[in-house]
C-alpha cells in the first residue's frame, strides 16, 4: 500500500526506498497558532525512532496529522505502508469489552482474530470479556497498543507510552514493543516526554521544540548531548 | 379486573410506542451526541404518509412499510442537515428544533390541520380476562418487541454494530481506527427516522394524530430516553413502559385530562433522580 498526500508540489526531495513514513516541511496551524512549523522527519522500515520534547511542543499534533485527523497547511506526508496510532491517554473504547476493542482495530482490514495479541500480552486474555473502561492504566495501554497492532501496521506510532503509568508497568510494555519490533519488523515511532525511556530503547531520535525539530541524531548520541541532558534528563534547565 | 387488564395492555402498547421514539433518541445521541428534537416529526410523517397511501389504495402492510422507509429517508436528510457539515454540537441540536418546526409546517401544508387516523390491520379484537382488546395493540407489542430484539442483536453482536457503539464510546479513537464517524452518525439518523416513523405508523390507528402531535410524542419519547441517561436502550424501554402504563392508569382511574400533567411530573422526578445518579459534569 502506498499513499502520498501532497499539499504543495513535491519539493524535489526523494524518499529512500526503505522509508515507510516521512514528512517534509510540514506546517499545521490551529487558527492563528502555528503548531508545527516546517517539520521533516522520517522512519525507515523496521526502525525504532523517538520523538521527544516538552508539553505543547507539537508532538501529538504531528501524530494526529500523520493519522489524518489534522490537515496540514503546507508540506508533504509520504506514507508507504500502514500506520497505526496509539493515541495519548490510550483512548480505549470504555464501554466495549477488551476483545471488541481489539477487533475494532482491524476495521480498516486485516484479521479480526485477537489470538496473536493474547500471545503478545497474555494478561489480556483473562480480561477479554471485561469492559475496557474498568481496566488499570497499564492494561488499557496494552489494549490500545494491541488495537493498533490488529491493523497489522508497518509503523506503530505510540503517543506518551509512559503517561500516568508506574515505572515497572512502563518498562514491561516498552520491552514488549522492542520485542515486537525485533520479531515482526514493525517500525515504532515513540513519542515521549520521558526522554530517558525513549532514548534508551530507540536507535534514532528527534527533539521537537515549539513546533520545529531542534535536534536529531542517534539516540545514544542524544543521551550524551549536554543540551538534551540539561533539558530532558533531569539536568538543570 | 377487566378494566385493569384493559388499562395495562393499552398502557404497555402505548409505552412500547414511546419506547420506539426513545430508542430513536438514544441511537442518535449515542452515535452523534446530538439530542434530536425532530424525533417526533418522524412519527407524524410516518402516520400521515401511511394515511395517504392507504387512501390511495395501497394495501395494508405495504403502506406501513413504505411509510417507515420514507421516514428513514427523512431521517437521513435531517441528519445531513444537522450534522453533515463541520457544525458545533449545540448548533446541531438547535437545527433539529428548527427541523421539527419546519416539519409541522410541511405536514400542515400537505395534509391540513384536521386530525387523521386509519384502521389498523383488519382482524377480530380479542378478549383477555373479559377485556376487549383491539388487535392493533397486539400488533404494536409484537412489532416493537421484534424491533428491540433486532436492535439489541445488531448493536451488541455484529461487527458493524460494535463499530457504531465505538463511535459513541470514543469518537476520536473510532476515527483513528478508520471508522467513518460522520457516516455512522448519518446511519444513526436514518435508523432514528425509521424508528420514529414506525412509532407514528403504529400509534395513529390507536389515537388520531395532527400535524402538531410531534411535540407531545417527542417529549414523552425524550422522557423515556432520559430514564436511561439517553444512552441505555434497555432503560429507555423501561422508561417508555412506565410512561405508557402510568398515563393509562391515570386516564382510566382518575381523569384523562390529568394524564399529560402526571407524565410531566414523572419526567421531572426522573430528571432529578438521574441528576443524583449521574453527577453533572462528571464530578465524583
Quick: pLDDT tens for B24-39. Answer: 999 999 899 899 999 9
Over residues B150-157, mean pLDDT: 88
Average model confidence (pLDDT) for chain B? 89
The chain A residue lying nearest B167, using CA atoms, is: A93
Task: Report phi then psi at B237, rounded to 5.
Answer: -65, -45
Residue B258 pLDDT exceeds 80: no
Is the pLDDT at B2 greater than 90? The verdict is no
CB A173 within 8 A of CB A141: yes
In terms of phi and psi (left: phi > 0; alpha: psi -120 to 50; beta: otherwise), the region of B193 is alpha
pLDDT at A11: 46
Is there a contact between B72 and B194 (Cβ–Cβ < 8 Å)? yes
Q: Mean pLDDT of successive 10-residue segments in chain A (237 residues)?
A: 45 71 94 92 95 90 93 93 93 94 92 92 94 94 95 94 92 94 94 91 94 93 90 66
Contact with chain A for residue B176, Cβ under 8 A: yes
Distance CA B120, CA B64 (A): 10
Rounded to two decimals, the ipTM of the complex is: 0.86
Judge whether B169 is closer than 8 Å to chain A, CB to CB.
Answer: yes
CB-nearest partner of A94 from B169, B172, B179: B169
Q: Is the pLDDT of residue B79 over 50?
A: yes
- Tell me how far apart the alpha carbons of residues B91 and A223 are, in angstroms, rounded to a whole number: 50
Overall average pLDDT of the B172-184 stretch:
94
Other C-beta atoms within 10 Å of A89: how many? Answer: 16
pLDDT band at B282; cut points 50, 70, 90: very low
Lowest mean pLDDT among A75-79, A203-207, B175-179, B247-251: B247-251
Residue whose C-alpha cell is 463499530: B163
Q: What is the CATH number of domain B2-276?
A: 1.10.3470
Question: Cβ contacts (< 8 Å) between B166 and chain A: which residues?
Answer: 93, 96, 100, 104
Give Cβ neighbours of residue A125 (< 8 Å, ≥ 6 apart). Answer: A118
Residue owning grid cell 390541520 = B113
Q: What is A47-68+82-232's CATH superfamily?
A: P-loop containing nucleotide triphosphate hydrolases (3.40.50.300)
User: Whole-angstrom Cα distance, residue A23 to residue A39?
Assistant: 7
| A112 at B interface, C-beta within 8 A | yes
Q: What pLDDT score does B267 carry?
A: 78
Cβ under 8 Å to A: B residues 179-198: 179
- DSSP 3-state assignment of B41? helix
Which pLDDT score, from 0 to 100, does residue B124 have? 67
Three-state secondary-structure class, residue B115? coil
Residue B234 has a CB neighbour count (10 Å cut-off) of 12
The neighbour count for residue B139, using CB atoms within 10 Å, is 17
Cross-chain residue pair B173–A92, CB shorter than 8 Å:
yes
Is residue B175 less than 8 Å (CB to CB) from chain A? yes
B281 pLDDT exceeds 60?
A: no
Verify whether the Cβ–Cβ distance A91 to B162 is below 8 Å: no
**Residue A45 contacts residue A18 (beta carbons within 8 Å):** yes
A90 Ramachandran zone, left/alpha/beta (phi>0; psi -120 to 50):
left
Strand pairing of A83-86 and A155-159? parallel
Predicted pLDDT of residue A236: 45
Say how far apart CA A231 and CA A233 lie, in whole Å.
6
CB distance B22 to B39 below 8 Å: no
Residue B233 has pLDDT above 80, yes or no: yes
Query: Residue B145 pairs with which residues in a beta bridge?
Result: none
Which of B230 and A174 is assigned the larger pLDDT?
A174
Chain B interface disruption, residue of A95, A105, A109, most B CBs within 10 A: A95
**A residues 85-104 near B, CB within 8 Å?**
85, 87, 91-96, 100, 103-104
Query: Would you list the domain boundaries of chain B?
Result: 2-276
- pLDDT for the residue numbered A230: 86
Q: Where are the domains of chain A?
A: 47-68+82-232
DSSP B278: S
Q: What is the pLDDT of residues A110-142, one digit of tens each?
A: 889 999 999 999 999 999 999 999 999 999 999
Which has more confidence, B78 or B118? B78
pLDDT of residue A14: 61
CB contact under 8 A, B165 and A93: yes
Higher pLDDT, B233 or B260: B233
Does B260 score more than 80 pLDDT?
no
- Contacts for A167 with CB less than 8 Å, ≥ 6 apart: none
User: B163 and A104: CB-CB below 8 Å?
Assistant: yes
Query: What is the phi/psi pair of residue B210, to 5°?
Result: -120, 175
Q: What is the 3-state secondary structure (H, E, C) of A194-208?
A: CHHHHHHHCCEEEEE
pLDDT at B123 > cutoff 70: no
Is A71 in CB contact (< 8 Å) with chain B? Answer: no
Q: Taking CB atoms and an 8 Å limit, are A85 and B176 in contact across chains?
A: yes
Amino acid at each position: 500500500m502506498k499513499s502520498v498526500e501532497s499539499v504543495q508540489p513535491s519539493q524535489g526531495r526523494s524518499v529512500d526506498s526503505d522509508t515507510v513514513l516521512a514528512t517534509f516541511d510540514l506546517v499545521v496551524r490551529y487558527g492563528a497558532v502555528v503548531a508545527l512549523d516546517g517539520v521533516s522527519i522520517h522512519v525507515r522500515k523496521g526502525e525504532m525512532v523517538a520523538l521527544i520534547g516538552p508539553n505543547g511542543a507539537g508532538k501529538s499534533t504531528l501524530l494526529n496529522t500523520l493519522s489524518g485527523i489534522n490537515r496540514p497547511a503546507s508540506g508533504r506526508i509520504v506514507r508507504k505502508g500502514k500506520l497505526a496510532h496509539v493515541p495519548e491517554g490510550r483512548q480505549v473504547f470504555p464501554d466495549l469489552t477488551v476483545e471488541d476493542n481489539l477487533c475494532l482495530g482491524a476495521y480498516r482490514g486485516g484479521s479480526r482474530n485477537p489470538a496473536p495479541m493474547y500471545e503478545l500480552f497474555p494478561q489480556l486474555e483473562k480480561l477479554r470479556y471485561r469492559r475496557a473502561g474498568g481496566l488499570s492504566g497499564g492494561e488499557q495501554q496494552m489494549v490500545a497498543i494491541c488495537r493498533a497492532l490488529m491493523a497489522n501496521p508497518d509503523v506503530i506510532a505510540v503517543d506518551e507510552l509512559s503517561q500516568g503509568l508506574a515505572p515497572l508497568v512502563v518498562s514491561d510494555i516498552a520491552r514488549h514493543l522492542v520485542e515486537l519490533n525485533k520479531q515482526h519488523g514493525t517500525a515504532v515511532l515513540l513519542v515521549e516526554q520521558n526522554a530517558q525511556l525513549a532514548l534508551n530503547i530507540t536507535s534514532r531520535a528527534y527533539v521537537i521544540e515549539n513546533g520545529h525539530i531542534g535536534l536529531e541524531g542517534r539516540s545514544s548520541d542524544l543521551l550524551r548531548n549536554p543540551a538534551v541532558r540539561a533539558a530532558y534528563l533531569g539536568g538543570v534547565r | 379486573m377487566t378494566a385493569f387488564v384493559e388499562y395495562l395492555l393499552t398502557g404497555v402498547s402505548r409505552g412500547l410506542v414511546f419506547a420506539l421514539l426513545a430508542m430513536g433518541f438514544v441511537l442518535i445521541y449515542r452515535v452523534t451526541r446530538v439530542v434530536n428534537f425532530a424525533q417526533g416529526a418522524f412519527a407524524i410523517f410516518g402516520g400521515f404518509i401511511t394515511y395517504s397511501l392507504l387512501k390511495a389504495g395501497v394495501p395494508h402492510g405495504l403502506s406501513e412499510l413504505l411509510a417507515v422507509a420514507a421516514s428513514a429517508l427523512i431521517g437521513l436528510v435531517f441528519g445531513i442537515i444537522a450534522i453533515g457539515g463541520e457544525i458545533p454540537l449545540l448548533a446541531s441540536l438547535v437545527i433539529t428544533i428548527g427541523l421539527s418546526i419546519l416539519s409541522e409546517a410541511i405536514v400542515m401544508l400537505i395534509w391540513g390541520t384536521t386530525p387523521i387516523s386509519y384502521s389498523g390491520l383488519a382482524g377480530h379484537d380479542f378478549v383477555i380476562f373479559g377485556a376487549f382488546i383491539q388487535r392493533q395493540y397486539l400488533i404494536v407489542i409484537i412489532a416493537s418487541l421484534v424491533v428491540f430484539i433486532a436492535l439489541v442483536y445488531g448493536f451488541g453482536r455484529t461487527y458493524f454494530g460494535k463499530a457504531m457503539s465505538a463511535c459513541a464510546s470514543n469518537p476520536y479513537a473510532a476515527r483513528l481506527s478508520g471508522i467513518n464517524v460522520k457516516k455512522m452518525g448519518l446511519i444513526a439518523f436514518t435508523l432514528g427516522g425509521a424508528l420514529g416513523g414506525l412509532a407514528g405508523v403504529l400509534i395513529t390507528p390507536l389515537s388520531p394524530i395532527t400535524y402538531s402531535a410531534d411535540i407531545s410524542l417527542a417529549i414523552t419519547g425524550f422522557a423515556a430516553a432520559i430514564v436511561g441517561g439517553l444512552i441505555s436502550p434497555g432503560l429507555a424501554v423501561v422508561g417508555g413502559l412506565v410512561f405508557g402504563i402510568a398515563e393509562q392508569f391515570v386516564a382510566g382511574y382518575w381523569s384523562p385530562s390529568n394524564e399529560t400533567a402526571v407524565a410531566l411530573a414523572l419526567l421531572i422526578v426522573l430528571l432529578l433522580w438521574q441528576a443524583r445518579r449521574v453527577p453533572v459534569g462528571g464530578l465524583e
